[in-house]
Amino acid sequence: MSRRSRLIYSPDYTNYYFHDEHPFNQRRLLVTYDLIKSFDLLAAEHVLPPRHATDDELALIHDRGYIEAVRAQGHSTAELPLSASYGLGSEDVPFFPGMHEAASLIVGGTLQAVNAVMNGEADHAFNPAGGLHHALRGRASGFCIYNDCSVAIAYLRKYYDARVLYVDTDAHHGDGVQWAFYDDPNVLTISLHETGKYLFPGTGKLTERGQGEGYGYSINVPLDAFTEDDSFLEVYQQLVPQVAKAFKPDVIVTQNGCDAHAYDPLTHLSCTMRIYQEIPRLAHQLAHELCDGRWIAVGGGGYDIWRVVPRAWTLLWSEMSDQPLGDVPLPEEWRRRWQEQSPFVLPTRLLDARESFPPIPRRREITETNRLTLERALLFAPHQ
């Protein structure tokens, strides 16, 4: 067990709460944390509590007028005049009491991870509440109020002068992070996501490559709908190491949304738990090879909070903390505890049985489409 990893966690993360019917449900963090503990993967020194981000830290990315609007709306019982113009009060981002405090705690949690890694307290750190990659400079978007990923990268640039590799494997394009650093050659963003033809936010095209000095430092691979494990991993494993080695980052930041799973109710990809074992394994390897181990991971999307999110982020933490798990049974006491609340029969093992997911009829066509997309993405990527 490595003592050089940190998990940023507090039950107060669940204060980021829209309403009972909203798909973004932070109960997933309670279920995940309990699974990690049930596998006996946590020592006391692993856990680091989050803190609130300051307004100055938030303002590294967000307009101060927007920050004040979020704070004011979270302290009001009625919709304020400018809230809609800031994306607040929409179906995706309904306002709720204390929304500024809840969102700034998540950002502060990711900054805790940054400082732990960059100050040498840890090699790796994981904030599962983070990964809110859609929020824009002056607008909430896609369930995200503040963009902890962008704030963390801006913080890394300002206070550590670090070259940052950001790798986003959420099924939704990491648009907020891309636009925040679109002209910065010291931040390279990679996003593997379901094509925007079918899915929010509709961006992440191959032609979005950066601008000015940042041209070539924004890399998007829009995957065909119903992409399965083999094709997803082929793209990921061919793209990320090649680009990372050419870019030579000082630190790697990964956004680990787990909504590419076939069970996810909001997306159209057809992957299994296998990819969530392989994604952090490669990130871990590259961090040690290129960055003296410096790796900051955050959560992200994931809307099957019972069968997918806990297993995916437990796999991530087990890899990060040098306690890798194979296809092992899930702890029976964990299953009993949460089965009463879950609308689904909980899985019995950490990985999915291949026979549980029949092959997609268009498998060959989808695989070839993704290969062509990868080839085109690599044409404009940095090369050694």
Annotated catalytic residue 134: yes
Catalytic residue, candidates 52, 62, 134, 261 = 134
19, 96 contact by CB (below 8 A): yes
Contact 218, 209 (CB under 8 A): yes
Q: What is the 3-state secondary structure (H, E, C) of 297-316?
A: EECCCCCCCCCCHHHHHHHH
In contact, 300 and 170? CB cutoff 8 Å: yes
Q: From 109, 124, 372, select the one nearest 231 (Cα to Cα).
A: 372
How far apart, in whole angstroms, are the C-alpha atoms of residue 180 and residue 156? Answer: 14
Edge-first strand listing for the sheet containing 251-255: 47-48, 5-8, 124-127, 295-298, 251-255, 164-168, 187-194, 218-223
Going from the C-alpha of 353 to that of each of 216, 285, 329, the distances in angstroms are: 39, 26, 12
With H, G, I as helix, E, B as strand and everything else as coil, classify residue 127.
strand
The answer to whether the CB of 289 falls within 8 A of the CB of 240 is no
Do 220 and 210 touch, CB atoms closer than 8 A? no
Q: Catalytic residues, which ones?
A: 134
